[in-house]
Structure 1
Amino acid sequence: MPYGLPRKIRKAFIVQALLASLAVLLGGYLMALVLKYGLLNALLHKEAEYYWQQHALSPGLAPPNTHNIRGYLQPAGQAPATVPEPLRGLAPGFHELRSSDELVLVDQQADERLYLVFQRSPAHRVVFWFGVLLILLAIHAVSWLTYRASSRLVAPVSWLARKVSLWDPRHPDAAELAPERLPPEVQGETRQLALALHRMAGKVTDHVARERNFTRDASHELRTPLTVIRMASDMALADSGLTPRLQRSLQRIQRAGRDMEAVIDAFLLLAREVDVEPQSELFDVGEVVRYEAANVEELLQGKSVQLRVLVEGNPMLMAPPRVMHVVVANLLRNACLYTDAGEVEVRVTAEQVVVRDTGIGMSHETLARIFEPFYRADGGRQQGVGLGLPIVRRLCERCGWRIELESREGQGTTATLHYR
């Protein structure tokens, strides 16, 4: 290498390694003492103080019983029958029981006594992680001292680090790392790294965008099917026998489970690389529409709305069937939720699926924004369990389909899915 950077900085960091080793030994010992007799002592006192506050409000409140802390309460005027034998003779205060590997706080309020037991083994793990933190701080401190001596050697690396630290993780801008814009002093390994980062910047941008969209979509849309499953399960468990109500609840659980599978498949499709073809199979579009129409009938209960399904012929399609389920379900649910009277009609042809309703419709301004994330035409209405029109459009684009919306305020909306 022109500058032999690894060889030159090796000597400087040998001294750093020796000093860091000494700091590790000293820091680990001091941290063990501080944690055991300081932090854990304060933690148990805070836990006891909080328990006494809650106990004053609810006298029957049980002592704390968590993964790390076990509590025992000796009520006033009663023998300590529920308190383990090794704890009964302890006076109020903080104790270390080496025989049972426990840390114990005995706290007394009036005539009642609270025992809080903390296992030392978890404490040792905590000591380890606090020791690691102390080690890192010590290494950084020593590194600062050695940095002043080796700053000339690592100046190109520092320059590159500063440039990269200014990147927005969602939109990394590597324009300054272009070969023609690199400073003359950036040579050797640093120049190679800068060029590699410049080439990777475009791929990083695309990857982060997909990951961001997937996380946003999943967190936004998976809540509703899970809520349906949870509510249906609660209803089923509340009944002692297989009543008609229980049977309906179980059926809802089954449908929600299938819906969730379709949603997960759709999200995975959006998360994949664009050049990766989705898994497709031949399916009947009419069957998908009939199935989803049956699922949304409950949304029309109590409304004077007629749901009609018209299927022309037997349209077959080679595509991801669960994505079609998600898209059709969203369009149908939107139509049912925003229609209070009249009809919702679904027409399936060899080339498209048309969902027409006589609902509230949308203004021209609303229609122009309807594909924006989280934008809804009527925020006062109950939200459906679909993916939302912005994600539906992304799914259609991913599968080579096209979605169109036509609407007039007060007259209804027509959604057309072109799948050929």
Structure 2
Amino acid sequence: MPQGLSRKIRIAFILQAVMISLAIVLSVYLISAVVKQSLVNTALQEEADHYWSLYEASEAQPPPNTYSLRGYLVLRGRSNLLLPENLRTLAPGFHELKADDMLVLVDERAPGRLYLVFLRSQAERLAFWFGTVPVVTALVAIYVVSWLTYRASKRLVSPVSWLARQVAHWDPRRPDTNALAPDRLPLEVQGETRQLAAALHRLGERVSAHIARERNFTRDASHELRTPLTVIRMASDMALNEDSTPRVSRALHRIQRAGRDMEAVIDAFLILAREAEVEPQSEEFDLADLVEYETENARPLLLGKPVELEVDIQAHPRLLAPPRVMHVLVGNLLRNACSYTDHGRIEVIVETDCVRVRDTGIGMSEESQQRAFEPFFRADESRPHGTGLGLSIVSRLCERFGWKVSLESELGKGTTATIHFA
């Protein structure tokens, strides 16, 4: 998982180590400067005070002369020619002679001047041992502690990461919950993570059972509905072969069209009930012919309404898909347009890459458009026709075949529904 807990913790520790390193490097620099200046200056001043106290006790006390410190005493009124040449012009106070690699304290008292010379190399060594070494040691300790903390944190979150990977690999249509069964969980999955795994296992099983029940119901109901439809179609065919009045003939034709529409809906339900890997039977057909057929079937829905229904064929695209699916899609959009349009016109436009159904009906608000594809949602509950399933079925079928359905609507001015299939 590219954004898993383990990676986030690793990044957090790396950033922490980098920031601490920068802070310590800066501290080393500052501490080195402090050691070389303040610490050495303080040491030289204390050394001078100590010498003058010894000198008061005995004027024969020689100046300091050690491995890292050289001392010179020039009594008042005496010549300073005995001093090294680079010290003769120095005034009382601290001096840094970079050219000679020296730190010098000139301390003037009543007896005379004391020159204390501290070699810069010794100051560097002092800064290293009392500044750099402790800081580097602290830095190494921080790195070790950070690494150990990271390892401990990784062990703590590894069960959660494992659980997230297992759930991420689930197929929404058929979640595999076997790995989360209590008897198959790894030993490191304990505590709250184990409880979460058990809850996800139960949830996955319920989802699988629900999907199976829905698929089986859709398949069985669609299969059982074919029997009465077959009887209706055969009875209407036999009735049409007999002499009947024009009014009865029109009614029988409407029954036959309704039967064919119902068969198309049943086929669509069966397609939705099948697994995604099982491709439905497809054939090549002319979309314009199909749209004209569905338009004629929709005209009886506008009887008594001052609404014009027109077809604008701008192209003749040929699609390779189950024709009855497209019958369901176009038919649902047309029925919606007829149900929600009381005056004006409905226009069906066939283009190269889409088919549009445009009406001058009641339209939809922005909130209704966001919920239009929800099952059983109806923009106007006062309308007597419709169950709120039409657009939901259209949306699911389009998703099943890789098409796209979109709505453009303005309240009181109409709606345009478009199916993009290219």
Q: TM-score, normalised by structure 1?
A: 0.48
Q: TM-score, normalised by structure 2?
A: 0.48
